[in-house]
Structure 1
Amino acid sequence: MTRPLRLHYAPDNASLCVRLALEELGLAYDSVLVDRRAKAQKSSAYLAMNPNGLIPVLEIPQGPMFETGAILLWLSDTYGGLMPAPDDPARAHAVQWLFWLANTLHPTARMLFYPDQYCDGDAEGLRRTTRQRLSHQLGLLEQASHADWIDADGASAQGCYLGPLLRWFALYGGATDWFALQRWPRLLAFAERAELQSAARKAASAEGLGPKPFSAPIHCHPPEGSAV
């Protein structure tokens, strides 16, 4: 008997991207709270699953899996529906944008949220330059060709990644008055469509994200655990 998927998560963390994908695919899964207040992600038990000490981990039949982008790609390739098939001509650009979200936009976001991990002093100075970098990157995405997933009504692995990132830019990382999603109408339209999906509503309910988690986010009030 195949054991169920198990998502090790904390509210409003990168595990939200994976939860959205699981819900979009209609998969049965168990969720296991990682208590960030107790730094449970740095415990020996958690590090045995993810030596980076970061959230999320998804336990799959082959064992624990980490890295948000890799998990999203595995889910799509295993269950179908969130990415073009490997032999689909649209696959190349879909993978390109998934990796861009994981390797470019998300790491830049982390510099905004955790500047002390990236500099020795002048954290606010780093945040200022990072906000400029993020604004540029969001502008690139707004104008991107070969990114039909932004405008599509259906779900995608890339969309499961982007929705939470847009949410976090509005809420976290010091002063947030720099960020107004209305500056990027295409991304705003994406956010408004995405949060109407049943998967987003279920994820928002599970983690206390509010009625408009991507287009007009509020700080989460989760039923269990803490976002920080």
Structure 2
Amino acid sequence: MSARYRLHYAPDNASLIVRLALDELGVPFETVLVDRRSQAQRAPAYLALNPAGRIPVLEVPDGPIFETGAILLWLADRHGGLIPDPGDAARGAALKWLFFLSNTLHPALRMIFYPDQYAGGDAAGQAALRAQMQGEVARHLDLLDHAAGVHPALFSGSAPTVIGLYLGPALRWAALYPSGETGWFDLSRWPRLYALARDLEGRASTRAAIAAEGLGAHPFTAPCLPDPPEGVAL
């Protein structure tokens, strides 16, 4: 079957989440590298697909979709299997935690990674924001670890839903970025999330992502900086 989808990606970016979902679904797709070294995400051709200038974009027959959570929900509803159906009693829980990941956890991680975008050029202000958001992310992970005990099927790494596919990369990034500023993070503090990450590493989708983006042997439980075959992560 020819590819119906084109994933605009950069290594170890939010596009990793979408790559995992596409491979879990077994949907053929093509990839288009967004060269962050040349700021290709801010070029007119890319902005025509995503006016916010962020990665990823998924081109589908109906047009381009951006925002990671929106792409995941679209794929899950179109193909099934990664989220409870609308009539399922677990649907509400799946949606609230998916949106918690996309609206709360992910923006907090961005503030840790790119404090200059939120606190300006003042180094002290950036450091203060980073420290504050590290504490916030830890509290978010506390909530998620508890939710994983309440909704184990939604927070699975061995039979992942959109929740697990989003969380695995998020846990990876918290452990890696920014270099030298990750001493606050210890995945063992959240045992249910650790189990999710460990089980996700056994998936064929993860092995495909490791090969495509140079993520190392244990990308979620013991991550190392990526060594991608093409492109740059930051």
TM range (shorter): over 0.9
SS in 2 for 1:216: coil
SS in 2 for 1:143: helix
Corresponding residue to 1:156 among 144, 157, 161: 161
The corresponding residue for 1:41 is: 41
Displacement over 4 Å in runs of 4+? none
CA–CA separation in structure 2 for the residues paired with 1:202 and 1:78: 22
* Counterparts of residues 12-51 of structure 1 (less than 5 Å): 12-51=12-51
* Structure 1 residues without counterparts, runs of 5 or longer: none
SS in 2 for 1:118: helix
The corresponding residue for 1:178 is: 184
Corresponding residue to 1:166 among 163, 171, 180: 171
* Aligned-pair CA distance for 1:152: 5.9
* Aligned-pair CA distance for 1:153: 2.7
CA contact (8 A) 2:157 2:197 kept: no
* Percent of aligned pairs sharing the same letter: 55
CA–CA separation in structure 2 for the residues paired with 1:59 and 1:153: 28
CA–CA separation in structure 2 for the residues paired with 1:93 and 1:102: 14
CA contact (8 A) 2:2 2:28 kept: no
Question: What is the identity, as a one-letter code, of the residue corresponding to 2:58?
Answer: L
CA–CA separation in structure 2 for the residues paired with 1:151 and 1:30: 27
Superimposed CA distance per residue, residues 163-213 of structure 1 (whole angstroms, 9 cap, x where no aligned partner): 000000000035111111011111111100011111111111110001100
Question: What is the identity, as a one-letter code, of the residue corresponding to 1:105?
Answer: L
The corresponding residue for 2:78 is: 78
CA–CA separation in structure 2 for the residues paired with 1:150 and 1:73: 16
CA contact (8 A) 2:3 2:29 kept: no
* Structure 2 residues without counterparts, runs of 5 or longer: none
Superimposed CA distance per residue, residues 78-128 of structure 1 (whole angstroms, 9 cap, x where no aligned partner): 001100011111111011110100000001000000001111322111111
- 1:147 counterpart = 2:151: yes
- 1:188 counterpart = 2:191: no
RMSD: 1.4
Count the aligned residue pairs.
Answer: 228
Superimposed CA distance per residue, residues 121-148 of structure 1 (whole angstroms, 9 cap, x where no aligned partner): 2211111111111111111111125432
CA–CA separation in structure 1 for the residues paired with 2:75 and 2:220: 22
